[in-house]
């Protein structure tokens, strides 16, 4: 492939005020977002509208309202764009009568690649399926099917890769390999949009997140940055010191502290609405009170807590 | 187009489906053989044969049944199991997907139906030619004229039905029900009540092409068929229109 990925500077995917409704049910509600090269996670619970949005981005489904472009072109009724875009849908049904290699070869042929063997070999090697490539897809495990479907999606070396729940059915080792593959593609300038309802999957993988809840885009950006904006939601911070009761008494006087408790293991659990202030004040307070500060760590600095909080809002 | 055609043929070539359509296709041949072997010479009038085997069984039954079983599955299976997205996500013009999907059932149903029709017609004509009362007919025609006319007309029918049923498989998950209603209600019941419906009926086109190619051998049909050019034009129109509708649907549909 000779596509100049450098030319995809800026946003490879642009979604402008997009809505999708099925009768009276609104699946996606006035979503605007942009996705740049690198790995972006599309998060949300089941039924949030992630798949519907991805289908519209991939051009498989028509927007009821709004517009979507990928690499500057509209995706709907524009099959030529698929030379530069790869989309792996969530559903895992696949032609059971084909071997894994035949599935990837079919994709390569339909993409009109000038040579078939080399890109097919490369794609299968990327997902580590060389040994099972000549077995029937009908006999594959769920994880193997996922990997071979990914190989078929990668075979034409797309500039934009859209993956809907790609880690369904994969084991921890396969997830690490998948992460390595995605990071390699991202380092080459590929724009990757990965959806998931499992936060830990994306937490270690995506540089940016788009959080969808009930058809709306609830948040976007670096997940820690999003978290910091939610200043009305208190952070839980664990503090380890050599004199917990004295330290707890000092902390409780701060304005941004909602609660302080000392755990059975002697660590202090603080619920703070301003972690930055806590981080700067704590060492000084410890020094002023002659207390040795061993550790300070946020307890809920994870996508899961952010996700739960956003759903509750 | 070739990869989609190969894929479609493999999708359709399930053992159970092939077995069923092959048995269906064998039915007219079996009936013709039974008639040939066990019917008395007095029963074997050409009119009865044409009405009984070619029209009522082959054209009205086996031709649409075999074609619908294959053509409705051409897209129907992929819509149902959501594998259609795999081919729709490729940089291929939609007509290059629709055409092989329409051709695949023709490749399988065509030979089955045509061979069945030609064989059944040959057996029937051979029986008729043995009757002393049909001496004029024997003198005027070759033994192959009627079977060839039947074969060509059935092929025309397979092509037109494939276009209609391939489209049906794309627009509804109940394509088989749609096809059965079309064949037995529209082409069967309604066209027998309103002769004008034959101009909008694949069965009508098939019978008219058959008759147009062998007016002598199939004379008994002459009061029930439309004009030969109208039949040819109608069959082409139906095929082209439903192919275009399939392409349009592929462009506009939300892929499951």
Residue that has been written with the tokens 């159970």 in this structure: B16
For residue B80, the distance in angstroms to the closest alpha carbon of chain A comes to: 10
A158 interface with B at CB cutoff 8 Å:
no
What pLDDT, on the 0 to 100 scale, is given for residue B93? 95
Cα–Cα distance for residue pair B192/B194, rounded to 1 Å: 6
Cα–Cα distance for residue pair B122/B131, rounded to 1 Å: 15
Residue of B nearest to A87 (CA): B89
A87 closest CB neighbour out of B11, B81, B89: B89
Q: Which residues pair with A42 in a beta bridge?
A: A195, A210
- Residue A189's CB: how many other CB atoms inside 10 A? 17
Residue A63: strand, helix, or coil:
coil
pLDDT tens readout for residues B55-84: 888 998 999 999 999 999 999 888 888 899
What pLDDT, on the 0 to 100 scale, is given for residue B55? 84
Best of A1, A20, A56, A60 to substitute, by most chain B Cβ atoms within 10 angstroms, is: A60
Helices B2-12 + B63-80 axis angle, to 10? 110
Distances, alpha carbon B112 to alpha carbons A91, B10, B26, B200, in Å: 35, 17, 8, 25
B249 interface with A at CB cutoff 8 Å:
no
Q: Which of B42, B34, B37, B214 is nearest to B132 (CA)?
A: B42
* Dihedral in degrees, nearest 10, Cα atoms B150, B156, B158, B162: -170
Contact A111 B251 (CB under 8 A): no
Contact A82 B85 (CB under 8 A): no
Residue that has been written with the tokens 């524009």 in this structure: A78
Question: Rounded to 5 degrees, what are φ and ψ at B6?
Answer: -60, -45
What pLDDT, on the 0 to 100 scale, is given for residue B132? 65
What pLDDT, on the 0 to 100 scale, is given for residue B249? 96
End-to-end CA distance of chain B: 22
pLDDT-wise least confident of A192-206, A224-238, B6-20, B232-246? A224-238
Residue A83: strand, helix, or coil:
helix
A109 closest CB neighbour out of B3, B86, B251: B3
Cite the beta strand spans of chain A per DSSP E: 13-22, 25-35, 38-43, 65-70, 73-74, 85-88, 160-164, 191-196, 208-213, 216-221, 235-241, 257-262, 268-272, 293-298
Cα–Cα distance for residue pair A126/A155, rounded to 1 Å: 10
Exposed e or buried b per residue across B222-236, where buried means at least 16 C-beta atoms within 10 angstroms of its C-beta: eebbbebebbeebbe
For residue B134, the distance in angstroms to the closest alpha carbon of chain A comes to: 53
Torsion sign over Cα A73, A77, A80, A85: positive
Question: DSSP character for A241?
Answer: E
- Residue A176's CB: how many other CB atoms inside 10 A? 12
What pLDDT, on the 0 to 100 scale, is given for residue A229? 62
Cα–Cα distance for residue pair B120/A1, rounded to 1 Å: 56
Decide: B162 and B113 in contact? Cβ < 8 Å. Answer: no
Greater model confidence, A31 or B15: A31
Residue A33: strand, helix, or coil:
strand
Question: Cα A126 from chain centroid?
Answer: 20
- 3-class SS string, A171-233: CHHHHHHHHHHHHHHHHCCCEEEEEECCHHHHHCCCCEEEEEECCEEEEEECHHHHHHHCCCC
What pLDDT, on the 0 to 100 scale, is given for residue A3? 41
Task: State yes or no: pLDDT of B43 exceeds 80.
Answer: no
Contact A87 B10 (CB under 8 A): no
A79 closest CB neighbour out of B2, B82, B92: B92
Percent of chain B's residues with pLDDT above 90: 54
Cβ within 8 Å of residue A156, ≥6 positions away: A1, A83, A86, A107, A108, A111, A113, A119
Tell me which residues of chain A have a pLDDT lower than 50: 1-4, 6-8
Q: Which of A169, A100, A176 is nearest to A138 (CA)?
A: A100
A107 interface with B at CB cutoff 8 Å:
yes
Task: State yes or no: pLDDT of B242 exceeds 80.
Answer: yes
What pLDDT, on the 0 to 100 scale, is given for residue A2? 38
Greater model confidence, B197 or B227: B227
What pLDDT, on the 0 to 100 scale, is given for residue B134? 62
What pLDDT, on the 0 to 100 scale, is given for residue B103? 97
Residue B61: strand, helix, or coil:
helix
What predicted TM-score, i.e. pTM, was given to this entire model? 0.82
A262: its two tokens:
């000392």
- Highest-pLDDT range among B132-136, B162-166, B221-225: B162-166
Q: Which of A157, A148, A54 is nearest to A98 (CA)?
A: A148
B130 interface with A at CB cutoff 8 Å:
no
A253 interface with B at CB cutoff 8 Å:
no
Residue that has been written with the tokens 């972006």 in this structure: A40
Q: Which of B210, B232, B103 is nearest to B154 (CA)?
A: B210
Q: Which of B77, B62, B57, B60 is nearest to B166 (CA)?
A: B77
Distances, alpha carbon B91 to alpha carbons A109, A189, B146, B209, in Å: 10, 22, 46, 39
B252 interface with A at CB cutoff 8 Å:
yes
Contact residues, chain B, for A54 at CB < 8 Å: none
B10 exposure class (CB count in 10 Å sphere: 0-12, 13-18, 19+)? middle
Decide: B114 and B155 in contact? Cβ < 8 Å. Answer: yes
- Residue A36's CB: how many other CB atoms inside 10 A? 14
A60 interface with B at CB cutoff 8 Å:
yes
pLDDT tens readout for residues B184-225: 888 877 877 777 778 889 999 999 999 999 888 888 787 888
Contact A61 B254 (CB under 8 A): yes
Cβ within 8 Å of residue A66, ≥6 positions away: A15, A16, A17, A18, A19, A30, A31, A32
What pLDDT, on the 0 to 100 scale, is given for residue A305? 63
Distances, alpha carbon A61 to alpha carbons A54, A158, B24, B182, in Å: 9, 20, 39, 30
Cα–Cα distance for residue pair A208/A303, rounded to 1 Å: 12
Contact residues, chain A, for B93 at CB < 8 Å: 79
């Amino acid at each position: 492939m000779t596509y100049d990925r450098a030319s995809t500077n800026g946003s490879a995917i642009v979604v402008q005020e997009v809505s999708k409704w099925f009768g009276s049910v609104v699946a996606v509600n006035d979503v605007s977002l942009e996705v740049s090269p690198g790995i972006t996670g599309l998060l949300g619970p089941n039924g949030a509208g992630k798949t519907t949005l991805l289908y519209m981005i991939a051009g498989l489904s028509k927007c009821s309202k709004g517009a979507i472009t990928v690499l500057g072109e509209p995706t709907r009724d524009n099959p030529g764009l698929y030379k530069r875009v790869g989309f792996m849908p969530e559903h895992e049904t696949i032609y059971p009568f084909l071997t894994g290699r035949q599935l990837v070869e079919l994709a390569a042929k339909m993409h009109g690649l000038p040579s078939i063997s080399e890109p097919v070999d490369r794609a299968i090697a990327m997902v580590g399926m060389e040994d099972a490539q000549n077995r029937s897809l009908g006999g594959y495990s769920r994880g193997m099917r996922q990997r071979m479907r990914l190989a078929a999606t990668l075979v034409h070396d797309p500039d934009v890769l859209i993956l809907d729940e790609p880690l369904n059915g994969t084991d921890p080792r396969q997830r690490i390999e998948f992460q390595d593959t995605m990071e390699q593609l991202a380092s080459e300038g590929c724009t990757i949009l990965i959806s998931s309802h499992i936060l830990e999957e994306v937490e270690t993988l995506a540089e940016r997140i788009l959080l969808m809840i009930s058809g709306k885009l609830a948040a976007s950006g670096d997940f820690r940055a999003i978290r910091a904006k939610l200043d009305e939601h208190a952070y839980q911070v664990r503090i380890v010191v050599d004199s917990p009761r004295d330290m707890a008494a000092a902390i409780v006087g701060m304005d941004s502290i909602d609660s302080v408790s000392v755990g059975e293991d002697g660590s202090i659990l603080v619920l703070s609405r301003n972690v930055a202030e806590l981080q700067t004040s704590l060492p000084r307070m410890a020094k002023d009170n002659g207390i040795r500060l061993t550790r300070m760590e946020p307890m809920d600095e994870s996508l899961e807590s952010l996700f739960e909080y956003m759903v509750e809002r | 187009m070739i990869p989609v055609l190969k894929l479609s043929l493999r999708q359709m070539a399930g053992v159970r489906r092939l077995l069923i359509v092959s048995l269906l296709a064998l039915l007219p041949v079996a009936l013709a053989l039974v008639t040939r072997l066990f019917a008395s010479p007095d029963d074997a009038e050409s009119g009865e044969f044409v009405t009984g085997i070619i029209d009522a069984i082959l054209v009205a039954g086996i031709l649409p049944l075999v074609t619908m079983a294959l053509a409705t599955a051409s897209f129907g299976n992929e819509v149902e199991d959501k594998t259609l997205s795999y081919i729709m996500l490729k940089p291929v013009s939609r007509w290059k997907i629709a055409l092989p999907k329409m051709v695949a059932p023709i490749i399988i149903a065509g030979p089955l139906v045509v061979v069945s029709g030609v064989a059944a017609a040959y057996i029937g004509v051979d029986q008729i030619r043995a009757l002393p009362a049909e001496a004029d007919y024997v003198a005027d025609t070759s033994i192959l004229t009627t079977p060839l006319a039947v074969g060509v007309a059935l092929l025309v029918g397979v092509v037109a039905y494939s276009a209609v049923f391939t489209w049906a498989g794309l627009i509804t998950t109940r394509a088989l029900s749609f096809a059965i209603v079309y064949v037995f209600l529209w082409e069967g019941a309604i066209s027998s009540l309103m002769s004008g419906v034959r101009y909008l009926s694949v069965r009508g086109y098939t019978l008219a092409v058959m008759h147009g190619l062998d007016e002598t051998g199939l004379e008994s049909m002459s009061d029930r068929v439309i004009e030969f050019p109208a039949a040819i034009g109608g069959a082409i129109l139906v095929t082209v229109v439903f192919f275009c509708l399939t392409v349009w649907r592929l462009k506009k549909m939300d892929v499951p």
